[in-house]
Amino acid sequence: MDFELRSAREKLEREQRERKERAKLKLVREKKAKDAAIKQREAIEASQRARRLDAIEAQIKADEHMQESLIAGGGVVFERVFQAVPFQGIGDKIKLPPSCFTELSDQGAFDKGPLYFELSVDYRDNKKTTHSGVLEFTAEDGTVGLPPHVWSNLFSAQDPMDVPLVQIRYIRLPKGTYAKLQPDNLGFSDLPNHKAILETILRQHATLSMDDVLSVSYGQVSYKLQVLELKPASSVSVLETDIEVDIVSPEIVSDQPSQHVLRPLLFGKPESGTVEEGRYDYYKFTIDDSTLEKVIAGSVKVIVKIDVEKDGADTDLYVSKHPVLFPSLNQHEWSSHDVGSKTLILESKERALSSGTYSIGVYGFKGTVKYQVSVLVQESSNGAKVGERAVSSSSDVDTVECRNCKHSIPSRSIALHEVYCSRHNVVCNHPGCGIVLRVEEAKNHLHCEKCGQALQPTEMEKHLKVFHEPLSCCCGVVLEKEQMVQHQARDCPLRLIACRFCGDMVEAGNDAADVRDRMRGMSEHESTCGSRTAPCDSCGRSVMLKDMDIHQIAVHGKSS
């Protein structure tokens, strides 16, 4: 009996424990479910709060951006994203779709003056920004046409984008008063009147921005200038404003520059160098007014001299006056193609000689040449020295012409002279030559079949290569050397001339399209440049620059 009671009690206790454990587990599960529900509800509320905060922050940013756009645009809000398309243009003026014209016009943007835009690209965490004007509203919808200047300042050539997208925003810019520019290498300051060249470049631009790079071309040479500083803002307008420009020296000078650099030469101080075959080394020297006066008076002469090592290599020597910076086979004013060492004498009889800066080009004609170049001012040796006995003229002596050498010989010794002359001398029979040579020298006296110039056998190969091989001009004309030099000095449309209106050195271009401009001797550039208007100093009326002299005479009775 006791055993049965104990078993029943144990069973009851066990069932009670199990019920308690199940109840406890149920409470735990309910608590966990309740906690999970609370956490889920808190997470949902936090997410909703974050979304509300993000929306508020986005709205605040949008309001700030709108306010900023309103301020930057002077009350005009225009911001779009377009696909960039390059086009060949000059300056920084872009092409926009016609729809932009309507939108800007509706907001009165055209009443506020010239249009300026901020262009920005955000690509791989690298944001680039520049500014521009507008050229025309002819681009296709969804695209913007960018000239090379704007394209190169926004996009990297090393890492091109598959679809170049540009964000464009209308903006107002202050007029610039100061700009500091830095060329990428030496040589820019050698350009004649380089600030006038910059003024011409800036006339093609509407804006300047910090870190922009300007490309300046001078003939076949180009330079890149980075904008280091602007005033009064980091982006300015350069339209109808006088802006002060400073040019600073490049921070890093390349040991092997990508293009030619003029090294200075002082009178009487030689410089050594080495030039490879087919390449040029360039130097510059200056003739001042006092030296020029002595040269014109005939008391001194300027000598350009180059000495080379006798190792079979050879050079050519070219000299030109600025604005021709880099004289070459095609373009120069003086040249020497003698084999070995060379000397060029610049005397008063040289009509092209004037005060200013001159360039020397040393060309490696054959092999790698070690040379020494120098410029000297040497006294002329014209006239008899004081106390020197004058030589009597042949007119005071009875003379007879030698039948062999055609020289005038005293009659008392003519017979002896002719016997000796006919045995030892020979006259060159080439038309126009008639030079008297020793018999042993006659075999080394040759004439070029093309031009008739007298040469030594060792000089013939170089003469034919230099003077008679056809040369190609950049404008497409093919001529021999002498004709090419004249062509590039007078006729080539790509030659550099000083514009009579802007003062810049520019390509001459073709003849002016206007007949009246052609009659006045204007080039294509001068005809276009002279079409700009300026106020008359006397009456204030706007007159084309090329008609200003006629206006002064016809209206005010003044001669310019």
Confidence of residue 466 (pLDDT cuts 50, 70, 90): confident
Instruction: Write down how long the chain is.
Output: 560
Answer yes or no: are the C-beta atoms of 202 and 238 closer than 8 Å: yes
Pairing of strands 356-366, 314-321: antiparallel
Distance CA 454, CA 333 (A): 22
Whole-structure pTM value: 0.63
Each residue's pLDDT tens digit, 474-520: 888 899 888 888 888 888 888 777 788 876 667 777 778 888 888 88
CA distances for 182 relative to 198, 246, 313, 495, angstroms: 12, 9, 39, 27
Distance CA 330, CA 323 (A): 15
Residue-wise pLDDT tens digits, 336-379: 888 778 888 876 665 567 888 899 999 988 888 889 999 999 88
Residue with tokens 């206007």: 514
**Terminal C-alpha separation, the chain:** 149
Who has greater pLDDT, 323 or 238? 238
Instruction: Output the 3-class SS for 354-387.
Output: CCEEEEEEEEEEECCEEEEEEEEEEECCCCCCCC
Phi and psi, residue 524, nearest 5°: -60, -45
What the block records as the tokens of 263 is 């090294």
Residues in contact with 528: Cβ distance below 8 Å, sequence separation at least 6, in sequence order: none
φ and ψ at residue 433, rounded to 5 degrees: -100, -80
Which secondary-structure segment (H or E) carries 481? Answer: helix 481-486
What percent of the chain lies above the pLDDT cut of 70? 89
Mapping DSSP onto H, E and C, the string for 408-419 reads EEEHHHHHHHHH
Q: How confident is the model at residue 252 (pLDDT cuts 50, 70, 90)?
A: low
DSSP per-residue letters across 65-127: HHHHHHHHTTT---EEEEEEEE---STTEEE--HHHHHHHHHTTGGGGSS-EEEEEEEETTEE
Residue-wise pLDDT tens digits, 375-391: 999 887 654 333 333 33
Contacts of 498 (CB under 8 A, 6+ apart): 323, 504, 505
User: Positive or negative CA dihedral for 331, 333, 337, 341?
Assistant: negative
pLDDT of residue 393: 43
> Using CA atoms, how far apart are residues 407 and 276, in angstroms rounded to an integer?
47
Residue 18, exposed/middle/buried by CB under 10 A (0-12, 13-18, 19+)? exposed
- What the block records as the tokens of 511 is 């003849």
pLDDT for 72 equals 61
Q: Lowest-pLDDT range, 62-76, 215-229, 319-333, 479-493? A: 62-76
Q: Examine residue 183 and say whether the peptide bond preceding it is cis (omega within 30 degrees of 0).
A: no
Taking Cα atoms as reference points, which of 201, 178, 240, 92 lies closest to residue 506? 201
* 94-153 residue pLDDT tens: 999 999 999 999 888 888 889 999 999 987 778 889 999 999 999 999 999 999 999 999
In this prediction, residue 232 carries a pLDDT of 92
pLDDT digits (tens, 9 = 90+) for 403-447: 888 888 888 888 889 889 888 888 888 888 888 888 888 888 889
Using a 10 angstrom Cβ sphere, with 0-12 exposed, 13-18 middle and 19 or more buried, the burial of residue 326 is buried
Mean pLDDT calculated for residue range 3-22: 82
As a whole number of angstroms, the distance between CA 193 and CA 251 comes to 22
- Rounded to the nearest integer, the mean pLDDT of the chain is 83
Read off the DSSP letter of residue 240. Answer: T
42-79 tens-digit pLDDT:
888 888 888 887 877 777 776 666 666 656 666 788 88
Q: Which residue has the higher pLDDT, 538 or 270?
A: 270
